[in-house]
């Protein structure tokens, strides 16, 4: 009989025993069933259901190595970071994260709301579903969690205590390596699609300006303790349904540049856009969906800007932050960092070890290579031109220009002309 006083990685059977022994959630007569449902790169996610009442919870356990590869030895303390981040984000942005019922520092697991009535956003976008409330929801989450954890709003000693609490060295190291370093040289750990390799060599690895700019960005990531970030805000970290958006998995949370989270959202919308452009066969449906994603990208930036400026006026406490034009300077720097982060995410998901299904599921080799080149071109532009990218239109234009570079002579949708066009190459 296990007593759960020493850490081990649990099986489905262990989790049922754990629930019976350690938790007071289900009725005495509950008939528990457990299934491991995790499909992320790092953890084990168990869904426990009482067959009698239908009541269910999620138990998430951090293992000592990442699921994606034993080579990543990552401290299970990430489960504490995740639980504490979810609690704080739940206070700052109520309704946008799952409720955490308990955290167990020995078994490195936490118990939280089962969101099975929602769907992982990446999966839903790959089925070409639309979520008209997403931009509104995600920007409330972003503004509340990013601005309200910053020195502009909270007591500076309290903020420094939070920086300590959320010091997340090992997961930050993963990001420093996988996002900021490896994609930008011919690193053995990269996982390059053969048809794109030469393009990557010429456009990414042999570009010394890009090397300089990504170095600057890496040092910003390591030193700019501006806001409590989610730290891995891709569409696989979002559970969604028509009227609800829940941001999950903040195990990469730490104090970093606020624009990082925004840029990751934008890049992952771009992956969905590119996927749609290569996989939807009916032209009208394709145009409609691409237009929807374009609009969402633009809305995320525009709504973030609007809500940020409003929340700033309502919340700032730091005296010097009310100096004329400081608010605009601060917001500009966030948007610049968002552009850079979008660019980094676009490059690293193509070149590095952790890919996205939006691109890998494009079956035709030529189409996939083209899709990858579009992402890399947009990614590089977002990084190099970040000082000039500020509005929703600016973000969308980088995408459209990158598409045009490769899809000339074929059919694509150009919303800047507000109609469907067929270019002739
Ligand atoms: C070793 S973890 C690989 C990637 O999965 C996570 O979700 C993060 O995005 C990380 O970079
Ligand atoms: Mg994750």
- Looking at the predicted structure, is the pLDDT value of residue 425 above 50? no
Quick check: CB of 181 below 6 Å from ligand 1?
A: no
Quick check: CB of 228 below 6 Å from ligand 1?
A: no
Q: Please give the Cα distance from 70 to 64 (Å, whole number).
A: 9
Q: Which residue is closest in CA terms to ligand 1's atom 7? A: 41
Identify residues whose C-beta is under 5 A from ligand 2, the ion: 40, 249
* Cβ-contact 351, 190 below 8 angstroms: yes
Quick check: CB of 346 below 6 Å from ligand 1?
A: no
- Looking at the predicted structure, is the pLDDT value of residue 422 above 50? no
Q: Which ligand is nearest to the CA of 120?
A: 2
pLDDT-derived band at 412, boundaries 50, 70, 90: low
Lowest mean per-residue pLDDT among 200-214, 268-282, 374-388, 399-413:
399-413
Q: Which residue is closest in CA terms to ligand 1's atom 5? A: 41
pLDDT-derived band at 122, boundaries 50, 70, 90: very high
The torsion region of residue 95 among left (phi > 0), alpha (psi -120 to 50) and beta comes to: left
Quick check: CB of 173 below 6 Å from ligand 1?
A: no
Q: Which ligand is nearest to the CA of 71?
A: 1
User: What is the per-residue pLDDT across 165-203, written as a single tens digit (0 to 9) for each?
Assistant: 999 999 999 999 999 999 999 999 999 999 999 999 999
Q: What is the pLDDT of residue 41?
A: 86
Q: What is the pLDDT of residue 424?
A: 28
- Looking at the predicted structure, is the pLDDT value of residue 127 above 90? yes
Quick check: CB of 41 below 6 Å from ligand 1?
A: yes
Q: Name every residue whose Cβ is closer than 8 Å to that of residue 398 and which is 6 or more positions away in sequence.
A: 378, 381, 382, 385, 389
- Atom of ligand 1 at shortest range from CA of 179: 11
Long-range contacts of 309-318 (CB under 8 A, 24+ apart): 311/143, 311/144, 311/147, 311/148, 312/147, 312/152, 315/147, 315/148, 315/152, 315/153, 316/152, 316/153, 317/152, 317/153, 317/154, 317/155, 318/151, 318/152, 318/153, 318/156
Q: Which residue has the higher pLDDT, 174 or 41?
A: 174
pLDDT-derived band at 163, boundaries 50, 70, 90: very high
* Alpha carbon of 402 to ligand 2 centroid (Å): 28
Quick check: CB of 72 below 6 Å from ligand 1?
A: yes
User: What is the per-residue pLDDT across 323-381, written as a single tens digit (0 to 9) for each?
Assistant: 999 999 999 999 999 999 999 999 999 999 999 999 999 999 999 999 999 999 999 99
Q: Which residue has the higher pLDDT, 409 or 133?
A: 133
- Looking at the predicted structure, is the pLDDT value of residue 383 above 90? yes
Q: Which ligand is nearest to the CA of 67?
A: 1
Quick check: CB of 182 below 6 Å from ligand 1?
A: no
Q: What is the pLDDT of residue 414?
A: 52
Model pTM score: 0.95
- Looking at the predicted structure, is the pLDDT value of residue 410 above 80? no
- Looking at the predicted structure, is the pLDDT value of residue 14 above 60? yes
Average pLDDT of span 3-8 = 95
- Looking at the predicted structure, is the pLDDT value of residue 417 above 60? no
Instruction: Give the rounded percent of residues in the chain with a pLDDT score beyond 70.
Output: 96
* Alpha carbon of 2 to ligand 1 centroid (Å): 31
Quick check: CB of 178 below 6 Å from ligand 1?
A: yes
Return mean pLDDT, the chain. 95
- Looking at the predicted structure, is the pLDDT value of residue 69 above 90? no
- Looking at the predicted structure, is the pLDDT value of residue 121 above 50? yes
Length of the chain: 425
- Looking at the predicted structure, is the pLDDT value of residue 418 above 90? no
pLDDT-derived band at 413, boundaries 50, 70, 90: low
Average pLDDT of span 375-391 = 98
- Looking at the predicted structure, is the pLDDT value of residue 411 above 70? no
User: What is the per-residue pLDDT across 218-262, written as a single tens digit (0 to 9) for each?
Assistant: 999 999 999 999 999 999 999 999 999 999 999 999 999 999 999
Q: How far lies 202's CA from each of 185, 191, 280, in Å? A: 11, 17, 30
Q: Which residue is closest in CA terms to ligand 1's atom 6? A: 41
Quick check: CB of 42 below 6 Å from ligand 1?
A: yes
Quick check: CB of 154 below 6 Å from ligand 1?
A: no
- Side-chain-side CA neighbours of residue 23 (13 Å): 26
Q: What is the largest CA-CA distance in the chain?
A: 71
Q: Which ligand is nearest to the CA of 354?
A: 1
Token match 């951090």: residue?
62
């Amino acid at each position: 009989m296990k007593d759960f006083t020493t850490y081990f990685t649990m099986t489905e059977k262990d989790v049922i025993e754990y629930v019976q022994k350690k938790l007071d959630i289900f009725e005495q007569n509950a008939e528990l069933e457990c299934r491991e449902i995790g499909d992320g790169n790092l953890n084990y996610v168990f869904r426990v259901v009482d067959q009698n009442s239908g009541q269910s919870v999620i138990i998430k356990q951090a293992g000592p190595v990442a699921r994606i590869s034993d080579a990543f030895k990552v401290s299970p303390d990430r489960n504490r970071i995740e639980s504490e981040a979810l609690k704080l984000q739940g206070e700052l942005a109520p309704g946008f994260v799952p409720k955490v019922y308990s955290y167990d520092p020995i078994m490195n697991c936490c118990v939280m709301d089962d969101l099975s009535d929602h769907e992982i956003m990446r999966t839903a976008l790959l089925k070409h579903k639309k979520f008209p409330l997403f931009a509104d929801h995600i920007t409330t989450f972003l503004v509340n969690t990013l601005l309200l954890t910053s020195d502009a709003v909270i007591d500076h000693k309290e903020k420094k205590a939070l920086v300590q609490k959320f010091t997340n060295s090992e997961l930050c190291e993963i990001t420093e390596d996988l996002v900021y370093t490896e994609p930008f040289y011919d690193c053995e750990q990269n996982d390059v699609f053969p048809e794109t390799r030469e393009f990557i060599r010429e456009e990414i690895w042999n570009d010394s300006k890009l090397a300089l700019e990504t170095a600057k960005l890496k040092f910003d990531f390591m030193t700019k303790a501006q806001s409590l970030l989610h730290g891995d805000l891709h569409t696989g970290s979002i559970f969604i349904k028509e009227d609800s958006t829940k941001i999950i998995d903040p195990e990469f949370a730490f104090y970093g540049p606020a624009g990082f989270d925004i840029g990751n959202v934008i890049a992952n919308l771009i992956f969905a856009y590119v996927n749609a452009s290569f996989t939807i066969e009916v032209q009208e449906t394709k145009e409609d969906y691409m237009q929807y994603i374009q609009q969402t990208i633009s809305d995320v930036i525009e709504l973030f800007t609007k809500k940020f400026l409003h929340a700033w006026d309502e919340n700032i406490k730091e005296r010097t932050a009310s100096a004329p034009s400081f608010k605009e300077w601060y917001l500009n720097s966030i948007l610049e960092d968002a552009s850079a982060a979008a660019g980094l995410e676009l490059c690293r998901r193509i070149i590095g070890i952790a890919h996205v299904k939006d691109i890998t599921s494009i079956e035709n080799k030529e189409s996939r290579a083209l899709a990858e080149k579009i992402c890399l071109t947009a990614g590089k532009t977002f990084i190099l031109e970040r000082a000039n990218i500020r509005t929703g239109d600016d973000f969308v234009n980088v995408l459209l220009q990158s598409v045009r570079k490769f899809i000339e002579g074929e059919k694509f949708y150009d919303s800047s002309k507000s109609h469907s066009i067929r270019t002739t190459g």
